Amino acid sequence: MKEHYQLPVYKYLTQTLLRHTDVQAEQTDAVDLGGGDGVWVYYLLEQGFKSAALVDNDSDKIQTAAEKLTEYFAPERFQAINADVTAIPVANGAFNLAVSRSSMHFWPDLPAAWLELARVIRPGGYVFAGRGFGPDLPEDIRASVKAAKYQKLYGDSNEKHQEPPSMPAKELSKIAAEAGFKTIAVLPDHKAYWFLAQKNR
Ligand SMILES: C[S@@+](CC[C@H](N)C(=O)[O-])C[C@H]1O[C@@H](n2cnc3c(N)ncnc32)[C@H](O)[C@@H]1O
**113 ligand 1 Cβ < 6 A:** no
Tell whether 67 is covered by a domain.
Answer: yes
Report yes or no: 78 and 44 within 8 Å, Cβ to Cβ: no
Is pLDDT at 121 greater than 80 in this prediction? Answer: yes
In sequence order, what are the residues at sequence separation of 6 or more whose Cβ sits closer than 8 angstroms to the Cβ of residue 108? none
**102 ligand 1 Cβ < 6 A:** yes
**57 ligand 1 Cβ < 6 A:** yes
pLDDT-derived band at 74, boundaries 50, 70, 90: very high
Query: Between 3 and 81, where is the model more confident?
Result: 81
**58 ligand 1 Cβ < 6 A:** yes
Least confident stretch, 17-26, 61-70, 105-114, 158-167: 158-167
Report the C-alpha gap between 177 and 159 in whole angstroms.
39
Tell whether 1 is covered by a domain.
Answer: no
Q: Which of 106, 137, 152, 194 gets mutated to test ligand 1 (max ligand atoms within 8 A of its CB)?
A: 106
Q: What pLDDT score was predicted for residue 118?
A: 98
DSSP codes joined into one string, 108-145: S-HHHHHHHHHHHEEEEEEEEEE-SS-TTS-HHHHHHH
pLDDT-derived band at 3, boundaries 50, 70, 90: confident
Q: What pLDDT score was predicted for residue 153?
A: 76
Report yes or no: 134 and 12 within 8 Å, Cβ to Cβ: yes
Is pLDDT at 201 greater than 70 in this prediction? Answer: yes
Report the C-alpha gap between 164 and 50 in whole angstroms.
34
Percent with pLDDT over 70 in the chain: 97
Range of the domain at 100: 7-199
pTM of the model: 0.96
Tell whether 25 is covered by a domain.
Answer: yes
Ligand 1 center to 4 CA (angstroms)? 18
DSSP codes joined into one string, 58-79: -HHHHHHHHHHHHHHS-GGGEE
CB neighbour class for 137 (10 Å; exposed up to 12, middle 13-18, buried from 19): buried
Tens of pLDDT along 147-196?
998 887 777 666 666 889 999 999 999 999 999 999 999 999 999 999 99
Residue 81: CB atoms within 10 Å: 16
Work out which ligand 1 atom sits closest to the CA atom of 10.
8
Is pLDDT at 56 greater than 90 in this prediction? Answer: yes
**109 ligand 1 Cβ < 6 A:** no
Tell whether 187 is covered by a domain.
Answer: yes
Cα radius of gyration rounded to whole Å, the chain:
16
Alpha helices in the chain (DSSP H): 7-20, 39-46, 59-72, 110-120, 139-154, 169-179
Report yes or no: 143 and 168 within 8 Å, Cβ to Cβ: no
Number of domains in the chain: 1
Residue 90: CB atoms within 10 Å: 16
Is pLDDT at 2 greater than 90 in this prediction? Answer: no
Which CATH number does the domain housing residue 21 bear?
Answer: 3.40.50.150
Tens of pLDDT along 125-151?
999 999 999 999 999 999 999 899 888
Report the C-alpha gap between 96 and 116 in whole angstroms.
13
Tell whether 2 is covered by a domain.
Answer: no
The stretch 15-32 carries a mean pLDDT of 98
**84 ligand 1 Cβ < 6 A:** yes
Q: What pLDDT score was predicted for residue 156?
A: 67
Tell whether 23 is covered by a domain.
Answer: yes
Tell whether 113 is covered by a domain.
Answer: yes
**82 ligand 1 Cβ < 6 A:** no
Tell whether 122 is covered by a domain.
Answer: yes
